[in-house]
């Protein structure tokens, strides 16, 4: 069950995070565009709508949303962080050809390892890389 825009707004209110116009727009964008966008992609798109928007605000907003647990930051490579509104358990597959990131279902609770018996695990990331079906069919 995915969280709706209204649920997330409520979540922000509970945490006393101001519902500014810019923040709500970023949140809305992430819900409507679940392709794991970069800061630059979010900024470029929203800037067309809100001409005064700054990239700093996009950075600030994403940091707030990540800290609040509403958004997940993904670091696979390429020195750029990508953002995901879906904070549920899942893996990420990054295509080397088109750079797109696909989600895949994975039960991270089942990933338990003897070597980590004395570790406190707060986050589990499973990132695969390769070629996605779309790019495979194009190269044929």
Q: By CB neighbour count within 10 A (0-12 exposed, 13-18 middle, 19+ buried), where does 83 fall?
A: buried
**118 interacts with a second copy by CB under 8 A:** yes
Residues 6+ apart with CB under 8 A from 137: none
Choose which of 4, 20, 97, 127 interacts with DNA (CB under 7 A).
20
- Rounded to a whole number of angstroms, the minimum distance from the CB of residue 111 to a second copy is 7
Q: How far is the CB of 71 from DNA (least distance, A)?
A: 13
Q: Does 85 bind DNA (CB under 7 A)?
A: no
Q: Which position among 14, 49, 52, 120 is part of the footprint of a second copy (CB under 8 A)?
A: 120
Question: Distance (Å, rounded) from C-alpha 11 to C-alpha 106?
Answer: 26
Query: How far apart (Å, rounded) are the C-alpha atoms in residues 125 and 116?
Result: 15
Site size with DNA, rule: CB under 7 A: 25
The reply to whether 22 sits near DNA by the rule CB under 7 A is yes
């Amino acid at each position: 069950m995915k969280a709706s825009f209204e649920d997330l707004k409520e979540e922000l209110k509970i945490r006393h995070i101001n519902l500014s116009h810019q923040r709500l727009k970023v949140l809305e964008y992430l819900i409507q565009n679940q392709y794991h966008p970069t800061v630059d992609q979010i900024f470029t798109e929203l800037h067309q709508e809100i001409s005064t928007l700054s990239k700093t605000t996009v950075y600030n907003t994403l940091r707030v949303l990540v800290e609040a647990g509403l958004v997940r930051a993904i670091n696979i490579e390429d020195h750029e962080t990508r953002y995901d509104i879906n904070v549920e358990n899942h893996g990420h597959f990054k295509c080397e050809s088109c750079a797109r990131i696909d989600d895949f279902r994975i039960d991270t609770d089942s990933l338990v390892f003897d070597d980590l018996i004395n570790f406190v695990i707060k986050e589990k990331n499973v990132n695969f890389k390769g070629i996605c079906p779309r790019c495979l069919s194009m190269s044929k």
